[in-house]
Structure 1
Amino acid sequence: MVCFCFLVDQRRKVRRSKPAAGTCSRCGGGASVAEMMTQTRFCYVPFYSKSWKAIICTFCGATLKSYR
C-alpha cells in the first residue's frame, strides 16, 4: 500500500492598515484596521485566495474583530 502526503498551508498577509481607536483586550496594545489577505496553498501551489478586513492589535497581532 502506498500513501502520499501533501502539504497544505494557509498564510495571512496584511495588505494595508491604518490606526483605529481602542486598545487590545488581551495585551493592552493599540488597535488598527487592516485589509487582510488569506492564501491557501496545496503542494506550494496557491489555489484559494480571499480578501477581508479586520481589527488587529499592533503589538501582539491578535485579530480582535473580522469583517468578511
Structure 2
Amino acid sequence: MVFFCFLVDQRRRVRSSKPAAGICSRCGACASVADMVTCTRFCYVTVHRKAWRAIICTFCGALLKSYNR
C-alpha cells in the first residue's frame, strides 16, 4: 500500500511596516504600508515564496489594498 501526504498550507508574514496616510474603511483606525511575504509549503517544505506590498489596518488587520513590488 502507498499513502500520499498532501499537506499544503500557505502563510502570510509581515516583514516590515510603516505608517501610511489614510484610515481603514471597515473600522476607522490607522493604516500602514507593509512588506509581506507569502510562503506556500508542501509537507513543511517551502515550495514557493512571493514578496509583495500591502496596505493593512493596524487595528483589525484587514487587507485594504495589495500590489507587487
Taking structure 1 as the reference length, what is the TM-score of the superposition? 0.91
Q: How many percent identity over aligned positions?
A: 75
CA distance in 1: counterparts of 2:4 and 2:47, whole angstroms: 19
Q: Does 1:11 align with 2:11?
A: yes
For residue 50 of structure 1, what is the amino acid of its counterpart? K
Deviation at 1:23, TM superposition (A): 0.7
Gaps of 5+ in 1: none
Taking structure 2 as the reference length, what is the TM-score of the superposition? 0.90
Question: Which residue of the partner structure matches residue 67 of structure 1?
Answer: 67
Question: Which residue of the partner structure matches residue 34 of structure 1?
Answer: 34
Gaps of 5+ in 2: none
Question: Which residue of the partner structure matches residue 49 of structure 2?
Answer: 49
Deviation at 1:48, TM superposition (A): 0.3
Deviation at 1:12, TM superposition (A): 0.4
CA distance in 1: counterparts of 2:60 and 2:5, whole angstroms: 33
Equivalent residues, number: 68
The RMSD of aligned alpha carbons is 1.4
